[in-house]
Amino acid sequence: MTITIYGIKNCDTMAKARAWLDSKGVKYKFHDYKETGIDRAHLEQWVQDVGWETLLNRAGTTFRKLPDAQKTGLNESKSISLMMAQLSENADLFNVFTDMFHPEGSEIYLKPVSDYVTLGEPVNFYTVVEAAKRRGETAIGYRLETEAGAADKSYGVHTNPKKSDQVVFTSADKVIVIAEE
């Protein structure tokens, strides 16, 4: 039987754990969640098993490098968001990840393009972004119904499109937005 251990490759504690397993001849697979990431379901299960206070390594370099504002007011939800976001990589994204990963935070929606732009006329993605901004949303792409069946065209999904490219939308097309409703 092979077990899976989860951690960060350069963590001293993980190095000791791997050395101990090696010395005992235990077969294991190492999942470096700093490189590979980790899904919310794993974190939620571990929090349920041992509590967020035990799971979140507040003594490690990753946590210590966070600005004080991000380390205050910790609770289960915020700790899971911190672990998922791997904020040591880019602390400036803290608020974005916290909002996206929080159970009551923003979600990704496909909304009718007609709510944002005039149908049948060429527009660029700048126009879509600005229309979404006026609605308190963040446009991250669009889905073209005419390409929905084409695997080679990502089934019509265009995320982070070139903002200056002209597109003519139809009533069946959707805008992909991050929103709170």
| CATH code of the domain covering residue 54 | 3.40.30.10
Parent domain of 69: 39-105
- pLDDT tens-place string over residues 104-121: 666 889 999 999 999 999
C-alpha 156/C-alpha 159 separation (Å) is 10
37: tokens are: 């990431």
Whether 120 and 163 map to the same domain: the answer is: yes
Confidence of residue 1 (pLDDT cuts 50, 70, 90): confident
Whether 125 and 145 map to the same domain: the answer is: yes
Q: Is 77 helix (H, G, I), strand (E, B) or coil?
A: helix
Whether 51 and 115 map to the same domain: the answer is: no
- pLDDT tens-place string over residues 61-112: 778 888 887 788 888 888 887 777 654 454 455 555 666 666 666 688 999 9
- pLDDT tens-place string over residues 122-156: 999 999 999 999 998 889 899 999 999 988 888 99
Query: pLDDT at position 87, please?
Result: 40
DSSP string, 125-171: HHHHHHHHHHTT-EEEEEE-GGGTT-GGGGGGEEES--TT-EEE--T
Catalytic sites, residue numbers: 11
Q: Is the pLDDT score of 34 beyond 90?
A: no
Average pLDDT over residues 38-42: 77
Give the residue from 101, 113, 49 showing the smallest Cα distance to 77: 101
- Higher pLDDT: 181 or 129? It is 129
0.85 exceeded by the pTM? no
Percent share of the chain, pLDDT over 90: 38
Asked if 175 contacts 111 with a C-beta cutoff of 8 angstroms, the reply is yes
- pLDDT tens-place string over residues 16-33: 999 999 999 999 999 887
Say how many domains are in the chain: 3
Write the CB contacts of 173 (distance below 8 Å, at least 6 apart in sequence): 113, 142, 143, 144, 145
DSSP string, 16-68: HHHHHHHHTT--EEEEEHHHH---HHHHHHHHHHH-HHHHS-TTSHHHHTS-H
Whether 111 and 87 map to the same domain: the answer is: no
Number of CB atoms found within 10 A of residue 153's CB? 13
